[in-house]
Amino acid sequence: MIFKKLEIVGFKSFAEKINFFIENGLTGIVGPNGCGKSNIVEAIRWCMGETSAKSMRGTGMEDVIFSGTANTPSKNIAEVTLTLDNSQSDGPIQYKDDKTIEVKRRIEKEKGSKYYINGREVRARDAQTLFADLSTGAHSPSMISQGRIGSLVTAKPNERRSILEEAAGISGIHVRRHEAELRLNSAENNLKRADELRRQQERQLENLKKQAEEALKFKQASEEIKRIEAGLYYLKIKELKKEIKVVQEIVNESDNEVSGLTIEINHNNDLLKNENEKLRPLRDHKVEIHSKIQRLNLEIKNLEDQEKRNEEEKSKLLKSKKIINEDLEREKNIIIDAISNKKRLVEEKNNLITNENKYLEIEIEAEKNLKIATEILEKEQNKLEQISNEITKKSSDNENKKFFEKLSFNLMQTKDLVANKSYGDAVNKIDDIVREIKEKVDLIETNNDESLSNSIMEMTKNMKKYQENYAVNLSKSQSIKTDSIKRKERLLNI
């Protein structure tokens, strides 16, 4: 028998169905690394019954199923079919009439592998035995892979023996011999277990014999007990019949007494019925009275509840009255306080208005005095300016001339401050002028210029006097204005 065709579907890198035809002569597969040449050899070994996932270069047997690529989805089934030529009928006896033998192995995810020979499902051992009879198999030395020649050269005698046996075509006999040995070992184990069971049954049989003897004795004793009990039951029945006869006589006597009592009871029932008819109106009256009492009790209870509600309402009204009286008292106090505050504010307003009129007159007078002081101060400044100009014209000393020119300039500035009503700055300016004049007078006295010194001293005294008068009037006017502003703000608040 020779291989004719290899059909692969979904195995490793072969996503689609591929047929490899093995013709007469040498068939070779040429391609670069990684193109799947080794996958073809592994497909043949896998179809022959390979059970080791490691030899298939995977971690599990399901790794042989095509796992998909970026463009092709994964598969759930892998299938490899080997077609063998049996035209010379040199295959196994059961396939002698078949021209070709198809061996197929199929694996599904989470379901395991199945083997088929000519479309009929068989065991994995049957497929492996078929290839062993053909002197080949998944681990056959006839499948020479990389490094296989070196291992054959260095092989041990036992390994060489397996190669020779396969070449002689008796490796299938060794597989069957191994299977027969396993069956013989299993049969020996079964015989040992059967012998042990027989011994257990013999031991149980002895126990059962003893139990049967005891059961027979128990049965005889039970029959004797039943016979004795039957005699006792007969004697008891005779005694019971005598007792029944006595009881029957007593019952007849009792029936006579019961009939007399029944007549008497009927008479009493008639009397009771008549008395009940007499009592019926009284009972109806009692029921009516009882209903009236219940109605009155309900009315009394309702009145008590109403009284409680009235008491609660009364207490609430008293509390509300108390709160209202307290609120009225508080409002009265607030009104009294408001009236007193109003009266006080009116009086304060009248006083402020009166004082405002008085202070208005004082303010007018102070303005007049300030105006007069300002006019006098301006006159003195004019005089001082004239005197300084005359002194400047008469004086031949350049230093005196510069001093009086500066003095005239300061006096002009003072006039401007007074005209702009910057009275505080004007007073400070006048103080500076007076101080400078005093210093100049002291200097003139040292130079023995008596006439100039006297005129300047007189002018300084007048300036000092009018300056003090001006400062007093200015302070008084400012104070009156400040008080007037406060009074106006108070009036607005009132």
pTM, rounded to two decimals: 0.37
Decide if 450 is inside a domain.
yes
| Cα separation values, 431 from 118, 292, 367, 403, 474, Å | 142, 120, 22, 16, 15
| Cα separation values, 489 from 362, 484, 485, Å | 19, 9, 6
Decide if 248 is inside a domain.
no
**What whole-number distance in Å separates Cα of residue 452 and Cα of residue 339?**
74
pLDDT at 448: 45
Cβ contact 147:179 at 8 Å: no
Q: What are the tens digits of pLDDT across the range 298-326?
A: 889 888 888 888 888 888 888 888 888 88
Q: What are the tens digits of pLDDT across the range 12-62?
A: 888 899 898 888 888 888 888 888 888 888 888 899 888 888 878 888 888
Tell which wins on pLDDT, 72 or 395.
72
| Cα separation values, 158 from 149, 162, 372, Å | 16, 7, 154
Q: What are the tens digits of pLDDT across the range 256-283?
A: 788 878 888 888 888 888 888 877 877 7
For residue 423, which of 483, 373, 361 has the smallest C-alpha distance?
Answer: 373
Decide if 296 is inside a domain.
no
Q: What are the tens digits of pLDDT across the range 124-140?
A: 888 888 887 776 777 67
**What whole-number distance in Å separates Cα of residue 255 and Cα of residue 264?**
14
For residue 81, which of 53, 114, 35 has the smallest C-alpha distance?
Answer: 114
- What does pLDDT average to over the chain? 77
SS3 content of the chain, % helix, strand, coil (to 5): 75, 10, 20
- Per-residue pLDDT averaged across 205-215, rounded? 87
**What whole-number distance in Å separates Cα of residue 28 and Cα of residue 13?**
19
**Residues pairing with 80 in the sheet:** 8, 105
Map tokens 């049996």 to a residue.
Answer: 86
Residue 116 has what DSSP assignment?
Answer: E
Residue ending a domain, among 105, 138, 171, is 138
| Cα separation values, 468 from 87, 92, 398, 427, Å | 157, 156, 32, 9
Q: What are the tens digits of pLDDT across the range 137-170?
A: 776 767 766 556 666 667 677 766 766 665 555 6
Decide if 13 is inside a domain.
yes
Decide if 372 is inside a domain.
yes
Q: What are the tens digits of pLDDT across the range 437-480?
A: 666 655 655 554 455 556 556 666 666 665 556 566 666 666 76
Count CB-CB contacts under 10 A for residue 39: 17
**What whole-number distance in Å separates Cα of residue 58 and Cα of residue 47?**
16
Residue ending a domain, among 138, 171, 199, is 138
CATH code of residue 31: 3.40.50.300
Decide if 173 is inside a domain.
no
Q: Please name the helix (run of DSSP H) or strand (run of DSSP E) that holds residue 103, with its range, or none.
A: strand 100-108
> Which span out of 350-354, 360-364, 385-389 was modeled with the highest average pLDDT?
350-354
Decide if 208 is inside a domain.
no
In angstroms, how far is the first alpha carbon of the chain from the final one? 136
Q: pLDDT band at residue 114, thresholds of 50, 70 and 90? A: very high
Decide if 33 is inside a domain.
yes
* Listed range (332-336, 352-356, 391-395) with the worst mean pLDDT: 391-395
Cβ contact 56:63 at 8 Å: yes
Token output for 321: 């009255």
Q: What is the dihedral of CA 467, 472, 474, 479, to 10 degrees?
A: 160
Beta pairing, strands 77-85 & 100-108: antiparallel
SS3 (DSSP) at 89: coil
Range of the domain at 134: 2-138
Residue ending a domain, among 138, 163, 185, is 138
Domain count along the chain: 2
What proportion of the chain, given as a percentage, has pLDDT over 90? 5
Tell which wins on pLDDT, 473 or 11.
11
Ordered DSSP codes for 191-215 = HHHHHHHHHHHHHHHHHHHHHHHHH
